[in-house]
Amino acid sequence: MGIAKGQRALVVGVANEKSLAWAIAQQLHAAGAEIALTYQGELLEKRVRPLAGQIEATVIGELDVTNDEQIAATFGALKAQWGGIDMLVHAVAFAEREDLRDRFLNVSRRNFARSMEISAYSLVALARAAEPLMEARGGGSIVTLTYLGAVRAIPNYNVMGVAKAALEACVRYLSIDLGSKNIRVNAISAGPARTLSSSAISGFHTMAHEVAQRSPLRRAMEVEEPAKMAVALLSNLASGVTGQTVYVDVGYNIVGL
């Protein structure tokens, strides 16, 4: 497509070849962007490095979004290598497996706080670090990933739904703070996707089947679809769009009974 030619993008959250973050990285590469990837821990490094080779991406290093020193090191490395960045993809979320199977009422204080820190606050921390690097390039665009469970009570989504609601609120407030620097912030609310994260949700396959049966398009979402929308939102095609949650879920969010 070429719409991202000459642009430099950091994609945070690639876990394996089935992750939405990886689909976005592939689409960005196809659109002409230079890509930088991070990983969390040795296990994910072994998965990320071979993927990086497929799209000629730079692997910056380890990034635990709860570690401010690693965030600073990541963006310091990007500044040294590129001088600035144009795009940031935030595809990070976490909830303990038991909290996606038990009643929401039973989530512990510790697990609640951890889910909020990793799934929502991390966007704030990464956006703060990205601001000067984007400003150096004359502006930029940030995209994060959310889900319908942020605005509706989805069975077994539980604390993750609360964290995604906070994430969507962060998008709105960040868009106000960063707008004067010509930095846009948006979220994509994707439909159910068979990823490493979704495998932890009890009843996921039933949920995905329901979407395919009842959505206006009468099919499941393809992972390439939110990825293509991410490229559009990150590029100048969406130069007037910020603070929005864009649904890419084959229309399921509009369906009632």
What residue type is assigned to position 186 of the chain? N
Burial of residue 210 (number of CB atoms within 10 Å: 0-12, 13-18, 19+): middle
Of the candidates 157, 173, 247, 252, the residue annotated as catalytic is 157
What does the alpha-carbon distance between residue 203 and residue 29 come to, in Å, rounded to a whole number? 34
**pTM (two decimals):** 0.94
Q: What is the DSSP letter of 149?
A: G
* Boundaries of every domain in the chain: 8-248
Choosing from 39, 147, 247, 252, the catalytic residue is: 147
Look up the CATH architecture of domain 8-248.
Answer: 3-Layer(aba) Sandwich (3.40)
- Phi, psi torsion values for 146, nearest 5 degrees: -130, -170
**30: Cα separation from own chain's centroid:** 19
Cα dist. 51→25, 243, 252 in Å?
Answer: 10, 31, 31
Cite the DSSP H helix spans in the chain. Answer: 20-30, 41-54, 68-82, 109-116, 122-135, 158-179, 204-214, 224-234
Q: What is the pLDDT along the chain (257 residues), one digit of tens a residue?
A: 589 999 999 999 999 999 999 999 999 999 999 999 999 999 999 999 999 999 999 999 999 999 999 999 999 999 999 999 999 999 999 999 999 999 999 999 999 999 999 999 999 999 999 999 999 999 999 999 999 999 999 999 999 999 999 999 999 999 999 999 999 999 999 998 765 554 555 566 777 778 888 999 999 999 999 999 999 999 999 999 999 999 999 999 999 86
Instruction: Locate 163 and state its tokens.
Output: 């964290």
140, β-bridge pairs: 183
Distances (CA, A) of 229 to 106, 137, 178, 245: 36, 22, 21, 12
252 has catalytic annotation? no
Q: Which residues contact 75 (CB under 8 A, 6 or more apart)?
A: 129, 130, 133
* 157 counts as catalytic: yes
